[in-house]
Amino acid sequence: MPLSPRRLTASLAPLHSPPPPRQPPSSAPQKTRRATTHELIAGGGNPSLSRQQRLGERGRAPPAMEYVNPLTGFRVDGRRPNEMRQLKGEVGVVARADGSALFEMGNTRVIAAVYGPREVQNKGQQVNSKDALVRCEYRMADFSTGDRRRKPKGDRRSTEISLVIRQTMEASILTHLMPRSQIDIFVQVLQADGGTRAACINAATLALADAGIPMRDIVTSCSADLNYIEDSAGGPDVTVGFLTKMDKVTLLQMDAKLPMDTFETVMDLAIEGCKAIANYIREVLLENTRRLECQRDH
Amino acid sequence: MRDLQLSLNQTQRVRLEAALDELQTVAPAAAVTVADTIPVNDEDNILKGHGTSDQDGEVVATLCGVVERVNKLVYVRTLRARYKPEVGDIIVGRVIEIAPKRWRLEINFSQDAVLMLSSMNLPDGIQRRRTAVDELNMRTIFEENDVICAEVRGFQHDGSLHLQARSQKYGKLERGQLLVVPAYLVKRRKQHFHHLEQYDVDLILGCNGFIWVGEHVVVGENANMMENKLNLSAEVENFTPLETRKHICRLANAVRVLSALGFTLTVELIIETAEASVSSNIEINNMLGAEFYVQTAEREVKRRADLLRKKSGAR
């Protein structure tokens, strides 16, 4: 049952210079880029400084593009500076998998499939027979970005992201409950618009929960980052993985230097985002579980 | 839906949604998700079962499912998870490997199950030690990719799952269809083997969510008596009549529809669904279409509502 896409307007740091109120496009078509891409940006700190100026502070050459339009107060994709992307999650999208999920954050769209726990296929990889072996494969579809080009399977970027996702998920899976088995997580980016790493982790969490794999906590991830155009222009990108219930950070990745005080606000924003995402994921899972239980006979 | 790719038209979608909403109102369920706190009374010391963990003195769910309380025990019953074996369960599995003195079976568990040569009856029916010759002839009993019915014997010390097939009713399954459904849809009952006489079909509801629908085979003492007759007409017997094949397909499709809808699979419900498809003149191949899918949902909703009314009426 497709869940109605819901808008999570980030109730994050207050907007100091509120942009002209925009009608929330509740019925707006999904396809329009303007309407759907909402994202969290590291802009809550000092509104009087434009993004460009702050980048300038870091001693970097200011990028050619301004991220926040000084006139309208909107970003390139039509979001407010610290507005979150629109979330959409759906479980059970891959028929043959034990658990699967589709997760959308704005225009970023990721599909995850979980197989397992199942018999270890390659006994050589098994380090400890008391724990489950977690494996992860990340892949970007060739058509996921603007320029369609074939990417080799084992390139550095995807190997690194596979590792990041694997480590993040392994931290939350109770591996000791499934000895002598392996769990495979396959994540594929269908559409990339910044924040793919975060979307992948969220999708993997949903898929793992759908597969009935015991977990300590819901890991969610949010990146205070940029969309594809902004990312290509070379702005900072902070991805945070967060265990909501335990209030612990399991992942922190930064692709650029940030001054300490800015970093803290960015971090707070990202954590706020994680919490919002966790709420959403919980809603999706609860709805799904409730539906399954009701359809089952009593 | 998970297994069926349906294209519902507008009316069908509305009908389906109405039916499923009705189900939710008939019996609302109390579900938890990962990291939800399960409320417990602090006074009574409770036992934490599967799917729960202790975090800062709180009982927290580690799975998505429904909270069950049995006396002091609190646990989370999962829905879509792999099969959790219990001793004595009747399961259907597929042979994936032949290892020394044992077969390895895929049974939708977190590891492969093991069926030892010594824990199954030999075809000749004689009780004796298994010799090296028997071991060499293992492939004459079961080959790779054969579908087998067996019983869960228990866990070994090393944590592996062992099966046994010490009865005539267990063994290789032939001439039928294997269907894989989520394990939570099959409830543990007294009877998992069903002979549907009106169709001449055997239905085995494996606890692991593997369901076998196949031509009826005669087992037990009758089998020996039948043996002589069978040998005479061996060629005829190797052929499944068209009628039976149709019945198998119809029942199999009924199982597919029901599992896609997420209804618990019982023999009664499967037969009822198959009968309904016959009475409303739906071809076997159209059973997987949108219309029958919606009809099945509506029928089930009606059945449950009636059941509920009867119950409250009795009170």
Question: Which chain A residues contact residue B302 at CB under 8 A?
Answer: none
Cα angle B238-B243-B246, degrees, rounded to a multiple of 5 = 100
B262:A1 CB<8 A: no
What mean pLDDT is predicted for residues A3-17? 37
Q: 3-state secondary structure string, B111-134?
A: CCEEEEEEEECCCCCCCCCCCHHH
Residue B220 confidence (pLDDT) = 58
Per-residue model confidence (pLDDT) at position B315: 61
- Over 50: is that where the pLDDT of A53 sits? no
Read off the pLDDT of each residue in B44-51 and give the average, rounded to a whole number: 85
ipTM of the complex: 0.87
The better pLDDT of the pair B266, A125 is held by: B266
> Rounded to the nearest 10 degrees, what angle do helices B267-279 and B242-261 cross at?
110
Tell me what percent of the residues of chain A surpass a pLDDT of 70: 72
| Cα Dmax for chain B | 73
Across the interface, whether the CB atoms of B20 and A288 are under 8 A apart is answered no
- pLDDT more than 70, % of chain B: 90
A200 or B129: which carries more pLDDT confidence?
Answer: A200
Which candidate from B62, B79, B263 shows the least CB-CB separation from A214? Answer: B62
CA angle B140, B141, B147 (to 5 degrees): 120
The minimum CA-CA distance between A137 and chain B, rounded to whole Å, is: 20
Pairing of strands B90-99, B147-155: antiparallel
* pLDDT, tens digit, 9 for 90 and up, residues B127-141: 788 889 989 999 999
Helix (H) or strand (E) run with residue A137 in it: strand A133-140
Q: Is A296 in Cβ contact with B184 (below 8 Å)?
A: yes
**Residues of chain B contacting residue A279, judged by C-beta atoms under 8 Å apart:** none
User: What's the pLDDT at B229?
Assistant: 52
A80-127 pLDDT per residue, tens: 777 888 999 999 899 889 999 999 998 899 999 999 899 998 888 888
Q: What is the pLDDT of residue A3?
A: 38
CB-nearest to A289 from B33, B35, B55 is B33
pLDDT at residue A59, as a whole number: 39
Q: Where are the domains of chain A?
A: 87-297
Is residue B77 within 8 A of residue B66, CB to CB? The reply is yes
Give the C-alpha separation, A176 to A170, whole Å.
Answer: 11
The CATH number of the structural domain formed by A87-297 is 3.30.230.70
What's the pLDDT score for residue A137? 94
pLDDT at A147: 80
Assess whether pLDDT exceeds 70 at residue B3.
no
- Residue B117 pLDDT: 92
Give the residue from chain A lying closest to B111, CA to CA.
A119
Contact A286 B31 (CB under 8 A): yes
Cβ A289–B185 below 8 Å, yes or no? no
Q: Quote the pLDDT of residue B274.
A: 94
Element (DSSP H or E) covering residue A232: helix A228-232
Whole-number CA gyration radius for chain B: 23
3-state helix, strand, coil in chain A (%, to 5): 30, 20, 45
Instruction: Please give the interface size between A and B, counted as residue pairs whose CB atoms are below 8 Å apart.
Output: 132
Quickly state the pLDDT bin for A21 (edges 50, 70, 90). Answer: very low
Contacts of B305 (CB under 8 A, 6+ apart): B22, B26
Q: How confident is the model at residue A283 (pLDDT cuts 50, 70, 90)?
A: very high
For residue B41, name the pLDDT band (cuts at 50, 70, 90). confident
- Segment B143-152 mean pLDDT: 94
From the list B70, B102, B12, B29, the residue with the least C-alpha distance to B289 is B12
- Spatial separation of the C-alpha atoms in residues A235 and A48, rounded to whole Å: 18
Given a contact cutoff of 8 angstroms between Cβ atoms, the answer to whether A120 and A199 are in contact is no
d(CA A203, CA A198): 9
pLDDT of res. A205 = 94
- Of B193 and A66, the structure prediction assigns the larger pLDDT to B193
CA distance linking residue B297 with residue B311, whole number of Å: 21
| Residue among B3, B80, B159 minimizing CB distance to A212 | B80
* Average confidence (pLDDT) over B271-292: 92
Residue A51 has pLDDT above 50, yes or no: no
CB contact (8 A) between residue A212 and residue B23: no
- 3-state SS string for chain B: CCCCCCCCCHHHHHHHHHHHHHHHHHCCCCEECCCCECCCCCCCCCEECCCEEEECCEEEECCCEEEEEECCEEEEEECCCCCCCCCCCEEEEEEEEEECCEEEEECCCCCCEEEEEEEECCCCCCCCCCCHHHHHCHHHHCCCCCEEEEEEEEECCCCCEEEEECCCCCEEECCEEEEECCHHHCCCCCCCEEEECCCCEEEEECCCCEEEEEECCCCCHHHHHHHHHHHHCHHHHCCCCHHHHHHHHHHHHHHHHHHHHCCCCCHHHHHHHHHHHHHCCCCCHHHHCHHHHHHHHHHHHHHHHHHHHHHHHHC
Tell me the two tokens of residue B292.
């029958």
Q: Are A250 and A163 in contact (CB under 8 A)?
A: no
Residue A104 DSSP SS3: strand
pLDDT of residue B186: 93
Give me the phi and psi of A250, to 5 degrees please: -110, -10
Q: For tokens 């069903």, name the residue.
A: B194
User: Strand, helix or coil at A29?
Assistant: coil
Across the range A58-86, mean pLDDT stands at 68
**Has residue A200 got a pLDDT over 70?**
yes
Distance of residue B302 Cα from the nearest chain A Cα, in angstroms: 13
Domain covering B33-78 in this structure, CATH number: 2.40.50.100
Q: Which one of A50-54, A62-66, A179-183, B39-43 scores highest in mean pLDDT?
A: A179-183
Single out the residue of B114, B209, B75, B90 nearest to residue A98, CA to CA.
Answer: B209
Distance CA B230, CA B224 (A): 10
Which of A212, A291, A293 shows the shortest C-beta gap to B81?
A212
**Hey, are the CB atoms on A212 and B20 less than 8 Å from each other?**
no
> Are B33-78 and B80-173 in the same CATH fold?
yes
Signed CA dihedral, A117, A122, A128, A134: sign only: negative
Looking at residue B207, its pLDDT comes to 94
pLDDT at B48 over 50: yes
Q: How far apart are CA A207 and CA A191, in angstroms?
A: 18
Distance from CA of B258 to the nearest CA of A (A): 10
Question: B-side interface with A, Cβ within 8 Å?
Answer: 2-3, 17, 20, 23-24, 26-29, 31-36, 51, 53, 55, 60, 62-66, 78-82, 106, 110-112, 159-160, 184-185, 261-264, 266, 269, 304
Percent of chain B whose predicted confidence (pLDDT) is above 90: 49
Per-residue pLDDT at A259 exceeds 50 = yes
Classify A27 as helix, strand or coil. Answer: coil
Provide the sign of the torsion angle of the four alpha carbons B288, A91, A36, A166, taken in this order: negative
Domain residue spans in chain B? 1-29+177-315, 33-78, 80-173
How high is the pLDDT of residue A175? 92
- Written as six digits, the tokens of B154 are 């228990």
pLDDT of residue A41 exceeding 50: no
The class that CATH gives domain B80-173 is: mainly beta
Asked whether the beta carbons of B73 and B59 are under 8 A apart, the reply is no
More confident residue, B305 or A154: B305
Above 80 in pLDDT, residue B255?
A: yes
Q: Write out pLDDT tens, residues B191-249.
A: 999 999 999 999 999 999 999 999 998 765 555 555 555 555 555 556 788 999 999 99
Structure confidence at residue B2 as a pLDDT band (50, 70, 90) = low
CB contact under 8 A, A116 and B110: yes
Q: Where does the pLDDT of residue A234 fall: very low under 50, low under 70, confident under 90, or very high at 90 and above?
A: low
User: Which residues share a beta bridge with B222?
Assistant: none
Per the prediction, chain B carries an average pLDDT of 86
Q: Grade residue A35 by pLDDT with cuts at 50, 70 and 90.
A: very low
Residues of A with a Cβ under 8 Å from any B Cβ are: 1, 92, 95, 98-99, 116-120, 132, 174, 178-181, 209-218, 244-246, 282, 285-286, 288-298
Q: Which residues of A touch B24 (CB under 8 A)?
A: 290-291, 294
Report CB contact under 8 Å: B31, A293. Answer: yes
What pLDDT score was predicted for residue A44?
Answer: 36
B167 band by pLDDT with thresholds 50, 70 and 90: confident
- Range name among A40-49, A216-225, B162-171 with the lowest pLDDT average: A40-49
Q: What is the mean pLDDT of chain A?
A: 76
